[in-house]
Amino acid sequence: MKFQMVHENYNVLNLKRSLTFYEEALGLKELRRKEAEDGSFIIVYVGNETTDFELELTWIRDWERPYNLGDCEFHLAFKTDDFEAAHKKHEEMGCICFENKEMGIYFIQDPDGYWLEVVPADM
């Protein structure tokens, strides 16, 4: 029996803001969406051409408070072919929330507080 990871879900408060962030910060574009007939939720899958793995962004109409993310010990990691350019872009965006120069990695934070690790291609 084999398993393949296909997506990870993050719940978001403002879908438009999150879609803008993920496209600007990581080049992820909307692939498809599912909308509840009653308008109670929208699910948008984002991804890019480098992998089949997708990030599922879920907006829930009646959710009004920030999501409790605990201590942000979980995260999704992204490998980049141009670490220096990525770091510069994320620094300009003001979304770097933690950096470990000794390990050669850093984390960015999305508008809802999710941490995303950025690692160089050779890691």
36-89 confidence digits (pLDDT tens): 999 999 999 999 999 999 999 999 999 999 989 887 778 899 999 999 999 999
Tokens coding 15: 């879908």
- Report the catalytic residues: 117
Could you tell me what percentage of the chain is helix, strand and coil, using 3-state DSSP and rounding each to the nearest 5? 20, 40, 40
CATH class, domain 7-62+73-120, is: alpha beta
- Residue 2's pLDDT is 78
Residue-range domain boundaries for the chain: 7-62+73-120
Quick one: pLDDT at residue 1? 66
Choose among 93, 115, 117, 94: nearest CA to 105: 117
